[in-house]
Chains A and B, each alone.
Chain A
Amino acid sequence: ETGVTQSPTHLIKTRGQQVTLRCSSQSGHNTVSWYQQALGQGPQFIFQYYREEENGRGNFPPRFSGLQFPNYSSELNVNALELDDSALYLCASSLSLKGEQFFGPGTRLTVL
């Protein structure tokens, strides 16, 4: 059974650019959640997708958007990057909305 994978591993962007991060959920999982983890902090919930629909959103501006595809993989898009967007972005998949969440290794985004 393949676990949750994320790409790319690391990414460097400049302020104002746009970025797309990708996540492949664990086999059979229909729910994907995205989290942002700033250095020295705990992860903070960005949003969740369930069967291709957004199902809950944390306190993040609209320039953070996402997609979930029919195979339940997911993308996180961030427009107009700011320096404070530098963080580790984690996705987690689960079998159901309230199921145990399995995390991927994360994408380290640096905004210069």
Chain B
Amino acid sequence: SQQGEEDPQALSIQEGENATMNCSYKTSINNLQWYRQNSGRGLVHLILIRSNEREKHSGRLRVTLDTSKKSSSLLITASRAADTASYFCATGETGANNLFFGTGTRLTVIP
């Protein structure tokens, strides 16, 4: 079963705009990770945020984590056409070694 839920399910923006995706989860976690997937192929790791962190940056990516609300957001600034992909959040649960993935957000960046 899926651990998390991403919102929105699909997002379409113009190149240069910012894209925000949200993820909610259900249980206690050690960390939360965001992945990108192009055209149903392998997953590319974007960023990991630990449960004791509130915000993390990597290039044009900004991730926030609110453990009290069991939610996270991924912000992609100044989007590019190459950012078009599906984005998944995945949680590393306390006591588990595997990842629990959400349902994904399909991002389309229009040139």
Interface residues of A (CB under 8 A from B): 4, 31, 33, 35, 37, 39, 41-45, 48, 50, 55-56, 58-59, 88, 90, 92, 97-98, 100-106, 108
Contact = CB atoms under 8 A, between A and B. Distances in A.
A49 to B, nearest CB: 11
Given A48-B98, A56-B98, A100-B48, A42 B88 contact: yes
Contacts of A41: 2, 103-104
Contacts, number: 66
Contact of A98 (B30, B100, B101): B30
- 5 closest residue pairs by CB, A with B: A42-B101, A105-B42, A103-B43, A45-B98, A97-B97
A33 B45 contact: no
A98 B96 CA distance: 8
A37 B102 CA distance: 11
Contact of B42 (A56, A100, A103): A103
In the complex, which range does the number of interface residues on chain B fall in? 20 to 34
Interface of B: 1-2, 4, 30, 33, 35, 40-45, 48, 88, 90, 92, 96-104
Given A41-B2, A42-B104, A56 B96 contact: yes
Given A42-B88, A44-B2, A98-B92, A104 B101 contact: no
